Amino acid sequence: MKKKTHAIFKILFFREIQGAIVDFRFWVVLALCLSIMPLSFYVSVKDYAQRLSDYQQEVQMYRDVTHVGSQMRAEGVHPPSPLSIFSRGIGDKMPYKVITSHKGDYRVYYAQPDSKKGLLGEIDFGFIVAFVLSVLAIVFTFNCISGDKEQGLLRAILANAVYRRQILLAKLAGNYIVFLTPFLLSMLISLMIVHFSGVIPVFSADILPAILLMTGVSLIFLFALFSLGLWISALTASSALSINVLLLVWIVLGLVVPKVSPIISASIYPVESSNVFEVKKSLLRENIFREQRAEESELYEKLRAQFRPGTEGISTDWSDINSAYDEQVAPVRERFDRRIIAETTRLTDDYAMRSSRQTRLTNIINSLSPVGIANNLMAEFSGTGFSEVDNFTRQAAQFQEMVKQEVYDKFIVKEYNSGNSSMSSTMAVEGFDSNKVPVPMLDSYKYLGVGAILQQNLPDIMLLCLYAILFFVCAFFSFLRFDVR
């Protein structure tokens, strides 16, 4: 009996494969995959090569024109991710570079959107999987059950000793395998194109694991869409109704939910843009510096009245006043330095908390759609997701601290303020030669490892698997109750 059941399933399975191969839709999928995907990777590699060249030129220009000194503004440019050829992710929301300051007021700048790309969009691997292939998946399955009913095939098959679960599994497995063949074939061709371009070593130990994970996510996502197509096909009485319902569901899952989620989260947890926050942080520092300057000016005027009454302004010849001022102003500056660190840290932590809360809410709403989950996972594994923004922000703070220790702290800066007059002198500490010190570079920048990204996004991957199982279970029980008459 077991052998007979296995033989029946084998017959049904190969019948579905043969039917899918001769179907016009398979050849459409094959043509689209073999044309769009290799072309998109070829264009993406060219774009990455240009971005990498721009990055290298900017870094070299900064190295050539920058001189180490107490007032230098060290720049750390965000290197482009090699895996960005798979997904450009959040695009212009990605940090572009950090500029340090001797006052500690470092600032993160964000990428400027390309007007042409913003208008026309980009067709990368993430877009192809989340949108193009998802539509093709529901087109591939919309009439798998309702269409066979209309043709009378289901009644004829069930007239024999065939279990309904065998029919459903054969349809799912047969059509899924046929659908994946063009996808995996075009994926392999695309990777070979990237490999032979010599720009990105896609088969290296650093990059290949992320590619395999993105491919695995794609397979789970497409399985979920296939199960969804079978489910709706088992719920509807005709193919026309099935395709209309599926397209409506896809519009909600693929367009409405991902687009509405950031709008809803922004309305519930409004957070200013990163550029506005940087301006707010700069204004905070300027206000504190203004108070510090006023207190230092008051101290200098007090000492001048004590040592040289009747005089005005500042003079380098007043060694008695300047020496006393240097001694008494030190605790004042230390107190203001602590205040600057405390208030900017408080402001930064508050902004990070509010941004994180908004991002979490966006992800929660976005997780209502498997399309949104798949698109987000592609960006995360490509190094172009929200986690990379946090990663760069952390390394930007570390870069500021590194420049402070290696350059800014190596200079003794004396500033004298009195009313509208000011005077300053800068002297390097003993043994420090700025001409022999290399220009500070953010050349040790590290993207998050695959393991860290996998750990952070494991709940989304599990949720995507849950969608696939849920849609399949719904399709299974719907087909058990399906009226084949």
Give the start-to-end residue ranges of the domains of the chain: 2-52+121-268+455-480, 270-359
What tens digit of pLDDT does each residue of 21-44 get? Answer: 988 989 999 999 999 999 999 999
Average pLDDT over residues 264-278: 86
Confidence at 119, pLDDT banded by 50, 70, 90 = very low
> What sections of 198-273 are H helices per DSSP?
208-235, 239-251, 257-268
Average pLDDT, the chain: 88
Identify the H or E element spanning 424: strand 421-428
Q: Is the dihedral of CA 182, 185, 187, 193 positive or negative?
A: negative
pLDDT value, residue 115: 45
Predicted model pTM: 0.87
- For residue 262, give every residue at least 6 positions away whose Cβ sits within 8 Å of its Cβ, in sequence order, or none: 362
Confidence at 117, pLDDT banded by 50, 70, 90 = low
CB 343 within 8 A of CB 243: no
Rounded Cα distance, 392 and 388, in Å? 6
Rounded Cα distance, 178 and 146, in Å? 20
Rounded Cα distance, 333 and 296, in Å? 9
Rounded Cα distance, 131 and 137, in Å? 10
pLDDT value, residue 237: 81
pLDDT over 90 at 483, yes or no: no
pLDDT value, residue 210: 95
What tens digit of pLDDT does each residue of 127-165 get? Answer: 999 999 999 999 989 888 888 788 888 788 877 777 888
CB 155 within 8 A of CB 484: yes
What tens digit of pLDDT does each residue of 334-363 get? Answer: 898 888 888 988 988 898 889 889 988 998
For the chain, the residue count is 485
Amino acid at 297: S
- Phi and psi at 198, nearest 5°, equal 75, 5
Rounded Cα distance, 173 and 9, in Å? 11
Q: Which two tokens stand for residue 259?
A: 């687009």
pLDDT value, residue 109: 85
Confidence at 120, pLDDT banded by 50, 70, 90 = very low
Place of tokens 């075009």: 186
pLDDT over 80 at 103, yes or no: no
CB 374 within 8 A of CB 217: yes
